[in-house]
Amino acid sequence: MASASQLSHLPHQAFIGIGSNLIAEGFDNLHLSLSAAVQQIGCADVAVAGQSSWYVTSAVPVSDQPDYLNAVLDIRTAFEAEQLLDHLQQIELQFGRIRTVRNAARTLDLDIISFDDEVIATDRLDVPHLRLHERKFVLYPLAELAANWRDPRSGKLADTLKAECDAVDDGSQKCRLFAR
């Protein structure tokens, strides 16, 4: 994790969802692959300030895909939101991400969950994600890392969104802490 001095020159805060259900080439398992991806995110313009635990989650929507390993990162960055998106998509490519069909299995998925607590709606980017409130694989690690983060669309805290998601879950969204 970055030191206070490394974070001080980076004006923007973002939460990034990270996950995968396919092992990237050159790695023995998902955890090693994703840990390497976390290291790649850091650069002169991006510093990782915090990270949630890893969670084993089922695919959404439900499918016969292998389980995912997911976490949330708290980052600081000099990039604007779409520059950050470009940076993250470049890392996905480095880890062998190929975009075929929506919700397909993937070697790396990096999503901007929040950027300076703004609502962003462009052709390339919707932040926060429009279905954030339905996704345990985001809400569990986000609530762990930043329980008091407030969704700028609904005004609800991460902990509240997690509890509401749990209340309506039909049991199809598995989400448990990863045990190494």
* Residues forming the active site: 97, 106, 109, 111
Buried b (16+ CB within 10 A) or exposed e, 1-18: ebeeeebeebebbbbbbb
- Residue 132: CB partners within 8 Å, gap ≥ 6? 113, 138, 139, 151, 161
Q: Which of 154, 122, 141 is closest to 53 using CA atoms?
A: 141
C-alpha distance from residue 82 to each of 35, 92, 113, 122, 159 (Å): 24, 15, 13, 9, 27
Q: Dihedral angle at the C-alpha atoms of 80, 81, 86, 90, nearest 10 degrees?
A: 100
User: Residue 39: which H helix or E strand, with range?
Assistant: helix 30-41
